[in-house]
Structure 1
């Protein structure tokens, strides 16, 4: 069994078309067909079945695909570790992050890291909370910044970088806009703007309201911070957002107000796979991120 056969197999499986796979691999269609036939002959099973001009994985083909994907990722990681062992300052790091950390946290830490390690490259991937956790588990990304840091994921380990307050964001015309602080229960009759269910910030909002003794009435939903802030500015409702999302400024026609009761906070940290060893450049970045925020907290 050759590595080339496995790569050809994966490409055909993904595209479900031998010709398209050949184009992407920059080889002749006959070469792809021959390698797939050799692989099937060695395994003694059919991995594909024809459906018109396309091909589909057989049942045993799907099983083989799952294991081959894991094997190729392991080989890729091993090669990466060897390359970076020779020069740990020349690696490529795949980093994930959510929308709520994209405005300030990510640019700050990456800019500081690049100043010390200018030859390290980054592949950045933005995604939802659960997507980032699964991507780290599957080795699609190396590390991810998240808030809050997951504690019930056996395949993941992480470190808290800092803890931040969750603030109320109100339209400037709101009756409580002049308040210095408020109890969350003061907003129980208001309509809320929220992320959709499944988003971690929606969970934080719902749990905070539950602690305050009420269930929020969600009038509108948005899938990114700018949409949420824009809806509040338009007077559609109120919301709860992490303090770091207001780093540069509070949106026009809104006001941010601290919450006294209940105390609403979230941890923000960095996660990595528990079992997989990070490549040298990834280890350097992980350690750098921890030190960066430790120094930042001391300065503040």
Structure 2
């Protein structure tokens, strides 16, 4: 019995890899689907082969060929994993209804309104759940998600869904041209973006979602922005604009800073009438069977009730539009 348990302890970590390998027939694809290094897959399969007493895979071109021993083991492994998943789901259902921890990564601009609205709605029915929050650039948030350090990420724009991640757009918000109180466009009702092509731009650094969005928007307007300053948050960007150091494109603020008395700093937002200027805000998650029950509940809440709450919030402030009614 002790020897059997010893063998099973070495074999069990290989079962998810064998099942995935049976579907993909490629070690790299298996590693990507499971979110682990390729070297880990190779080492684990080698240890499993020692337990079985014969190789489980053979190299064949760029892929692998499963041996008869592997083909015999894979169906049983799939059955065992399914039974474990069912047991795990029941255990999580018992222990995770009221307690748990959810890790959320988000871009700075969503910390004032969007994320608090979502957490408040979820906490009303799950008061014992705690949140680990990490904020940063879009690239930073997606990196946390990829490495398993975050269960979900709130970013703009969300990446396209793939085999390893899921994503959905929650809402779309307009983008505005931000100018200083001394700018000739201050108080203007609207402007074509190509009308300011020769002016210095103040942008977020590369890796932040707005950086690529503004670059793409200017490209659609027929020019490349001349960058004067780059920052790490939109408060700094607007501050530099208010000092007359350049212009910026940014999502709207609820409260707009007009010109200050006595010639102080101030700025305003001007509608961009061409090209169409907006950004999509979305939720991203990992497609993993071992995602916690609470993280799954929070995701489902965000994609359902949360989407409606965010849409109502955007409509009430006039800052955006619900994605489903955007057409």
Question: How big is the shift at 1:266?
Answer: 1.3
Match of 1:115 among 120, 124, 142: 124
Q: Which residue of 1 aligns with 2:302?
A: 289
Q: Aligned pair 1:219/2:228, yes or no? A: yes
Report how far residue 116 of structure 1 moved. 2.4
For 2:43 and 2:174, locate their aligned partners in 1 and report how far apart those are by CA, in whole Å.
43
| Paired residue secondary structure (1:92) | strand
CA contact (8 A) 1:193 1:232 kept: yes
TM superposition shift of 1:81:
6.2
Residue 182 of structure 2: SS of its match in structure 1? Answer: coil
Aligned equivalent of 1:132, options 133, 137, 141: 141
2:94 corresponds in structure 1 to: 86
Q: How much has 1:134 moved relative to structure 2?
A: 2.2
Equivalent positions of 1:85-234 (< 5 A) are 85-87=93-95, 88-151=97-160, 153-234=162-243
Describe the superposition over 1:92-148 as per-residue Cα deviations: whole angstroms up to 9, x where unpaired.
Answer: 101110112112111221122212221111111112212211221221111111111
Distance 1:187 1:155 in 2: 41
- 1:3-61 Cα deviation digits (max 9, x unpaired): xxxxxxxxxxxxxxxxxxxxxxxxxxxxxxxxxxxxxxxxxxxxxxxxxxxxxxxxxxx
C-alpha contact 1:84 1:91 (8 A) present in aligned 2: no
1:251 matched to 2:257: yes
Asked whether the 8 Å contact 2:161–2:167 carries over to 1, the reply is no
Residues 295 and 219 (structure 1), Cα distance of their counterparts in 2 relative to 1, 3 Å cut = closer
Q: CA deviation at 1:296?
A: 4.4
**Are the counterparts in 2 of residues 201 and 241 from structure 1 also a CA contact under 8 Å?**
yes
Cα drift, residue 67 of structure 1: 8.1
In 2, Cα distance between the equivalents of 1:67 and 1:155?
22
Query: SS at 1:116's partner residue?
Result: coil
* Length-normalised TM-score, structure 2: 0.64
Equivalent pairs, count: 229
Question: What is the distance in 2 between the residues matched to 1:67 and 1:101?
Answer: 42
Which residue is 2:73 aligned to?
A: none
- CA distance in 2: counterparts of 1:89 and 1:237, whole angstroms: 50
CA shift for structure 1 position 84: 3.2
> Deviation string for 1:201-225 (max 9, x for gaps)?
1111111111111111111111112
Match of 1:271 in 2: 284
Report which stretch shifted further, 119-128 or 130-139.
130-139
* Cα displacement string for residues 155-211 of structure 1 (whole angstroms, at most 9, x for unaligned residues): 211111101111111111110112111110111121110112232211111111111
| 2-structure distance, mates of 1:125, 1:263 | 31
Matched-pair contact (CA < 8 Å) for 1:161–1:268: yes
What is the Cα-based RMSD across aligned positions, in Å? Answer: 2.7
**Deviation >4 Å, runs of 4+:** 78-83
Q: Could you tell me how far apart the structure 1 residues matched to 2:91 and 2:240 are?
A: 49
Asked if the contact 1:182–1:260 (Cα under 8 Å) also holds between the matched residues in 2, the reply is yes
1:74 counterpart residue number: none
Residue 297 of structure 1: how far off its partner (Å): 2.5
1:169 and 1:240 in contact (8 A); partners too: yes
